[in-house]
Structure 1
Amino acid sequence: MNPQQWNIFQNFKSELKAQCQIWARNSRELIPLQKSSSVKDTPDYPIETPVVYNTALDELTSQSEIKLIVIGDNPGKNEQLSINQKYLVGQAGKIAEGYFKKNPELEIDFRKNVIILNKTPVHSAKTKHLISIDKALKASNSPARNLIEESQRWMAKKTAELHQALIAAADKNSFIPELWLVGYTELKKNGIFIPYRDELKAAYTNSEGITTPAWQKVFVYQHFSMNCFSKDIKTHQSATPTQPLKQTLDSLGQIHKEEIFY
């Protein structure tokens, strides 16, 4: 990152960390809901960090070359452990890391060249559990009743601002980062991440209803979990086997983007 990009990232990171601390004040209310939502389909596990700030952001330096901003769903069981408190460090994260290692032509180190964020920092064992957590919160009179939606809208707006600012500050020696929205099932109609989807699009749209140039650097893909991402790429690639992988990724990312946003 050049000095201007580094300052932009530092400011974003500080603001995100402070906001996560604010949301974490709802931990006493969140933990019972996070536990009860997982009882039917998840072995018992300790909930150590109900709202997770990605500490991997603190490991990036001014020398880091940021090529991607990857947006996952929300922190799972491994991500919320006190020894981790990092995003995409479970099985899905290992699959993502392995994919880039197996495809060196992309020239991306998943742990060094990527800012990893989520649609919300609120933990749940499985993403679908957020639905019951959200319903329980909304049925309460708690100040946290709109936490799931509020956190999504905040993350979408601030992430879009970060992405656009990094692009605007790029020079001839720095990268133009792309934003990959990974995991689109819950972005569809009636999905839990509809607020994130709508706020993100709005953040790339000017007062005249026209999307900004940075919107062209936003792509949508299936999630890394269960090898959905790589299987989807392989299927799409089979139609044009001689096409370079980057072109295949761009094409598929645009197709899914149109499915979600248009």
Structure 2
Amino acid sequence: MNDSQWNVFLRFRDEFKNLCNQWGQFSNELYPLQKEAAKGVPDYNLETAIVYNKAYDEVQKTDKINFIVIGDNPGKEEQLASNQKYLVGQSGRIAEGFFRRNSELGTDFRKNVLILNKTPVHTAKTVQLKYILKNGSKEIVSLINESQKKMAQLAFELHNGLFSNSKNDFPELWLVGYSELKKNGVFNRYRDELKKQYEGYSSWNKVFVYQHFSMNRFIVDLNEFRKDNNLPLKNCLEEIGKIHKNEIFGD
């Protein structure tokens, strides 16, 4: 990163860390809701209600950022006190393997990618956020909704800042896992705020939407597209990302 990009990243990291500290005051109220929502999930120890991504503290100015990848919310492995990093479970390992196998992308998933979520509020499975929204207090509902809006704002500021300070190799923002971005999905507030933030900015052209890495859905979707399209990998990714982007945002 150049000096300007590094400062953009530092502002993002510091603001997000402060927000997680503020939102952490709701942890005691969140824990019983998270536990109840996750009943029946095996091998699961709830340790962190609001998960800050400690991988940000390992980022160096010399790192080249090619992608910002935005998942859903921290899951079982992400919230462990020994981890507290995003996409370190099965989905993360699939993503890591994808970039490792496709060297033409020139990307180390743990070095050249900044990973965000649509909210730092943990649930064992994303759909369980609906249980918390239904059964939580007004304060908890507000927390989840407002955290989505704030994370959309931060994602835009980070991406647009890195993009606008690039001379070439403009970083892309990937939204992975889009089912809950659809109408009546748990992340529709995130979707609407993100679109609002990008209005009038050319960095929107570098925003793409994909299936989630979990259950190999991202790779299955990509392989199905490549069967019918004789295009290089980068072009396939761009086309798929635009197709799903249109499904979610209508453009």
- Does the TM-score normalized on the shorter chain lie above 0.5? yes
| Cα distance between partner residues in 2 of 1:43 and 1:29 | 22
Shift of 1:68: 0.3
Shift of 1:104: 0.7
Q: Give the corresponding residue for 2:120.
A: 121
| Cα distance between partner residues in 1 of 2:154 and 2:87 | 20
Shift of 1:215: 0.4
Answer yes or no: is the 8 Å Cα contact 2:133–2:140 preserved in 1.
no
Cα shift readout 1:15-43 (whole Å, capped 9, x = no counterpart): 00000111111000000000000104x12
Q: Give the corresponding residue for 2:149.
A: 153
2:68 is paired with a residue of what secondary structure?
strand
Q: Give the corresponding residue for 2:247.
A: 259
Shift of 1:145: 3.1
- Consecutive unaligned residues of structure 2, counting only runs of 5 or more, are none
Is the aligned partner of 1:198 residue 2:186? no
> What does 1:1-262 correspond to in 2, within 5 Å?
1-40=1-40, 42-43=41-42, 45-137=44-136, 140-141=137-138, 143-171=139-167, 175-205=169-199, 211-241=200-230, 243-262=231-250
2:189 is paired with a residue of what secondary structure?
helix
Answer yes or no: is the 8 Å Cα contact 2:132–2:141 preserved in 1.
no
2:141 is paired with a residue of what secondary structure?
coil
| Cα distance between partner residues in 1 of 2:11 and 2:229 | 42
2:209 is paired with a residue of what secondary structure?
strand
Give the aligned residue type for 1:127.
Answer: T
Give the aligned residue type for 2:19.
Answer: Q
Shift of 1:124: 0.2
Shift of 1:170: 1.6
Aligned residue pair count: 250
Answer yes or no: is the 8 Å Cα contact 2:67–2:174 preserved in 1.
yes
2:195 is paired with a residue of what secondary structure?
helix
Cα shift readout 1:207-238 (whole Å, capped 9, x = no counterpart): xxxx3211000000000000000000000011
Q: Which has the higher helix share?
A: 2
Percent identical residues: 55
| Cα distance between partner residues in 1 of 2:166 and 2:105 | 20
Shift of 1:201: 0.2
Answer yes or no: is the 8 Å Cα contact 2:38–2:128 preserved in 1.
yes
Which 4+ residue blocks in structure 1 deviate beyond 6 angstroms? Answer: none
Shift of 1:9: 0.3
Shift of 1:44: 5.3
RMSD over aligned Cα, in angstroms?
Answer: 1.0
| Cα distance between partner residues in 2 of 1:105 and 1:248 | 13
User: TM-score, normalising length from structure 1?
Assistant: 0.93
Answer yes or no: is the 8 Å Cα contact 2:180–2:186 preserved in 1.
yes
| Cα distance between partner residues in 1 of 2:18 and 2:160 | 21
Give the aligned residue type for 2:125.
Answer: K
| Cα distance between partner residues in 2 of 1:4 and 1:146 | 34
| Cα distance between partner residues in 1 of 2:154 and 2:11 | 11
| Cα distance between partner residues in 2 of 1:177 and 1:74 | 22
Cα shift readout 1:142-201 (whole Å, capped 9, x = no counterpart): x333111110000001110111111111235xx311000000000111100000000000
1:190 is paired with a residue of what secondary structure?
coil
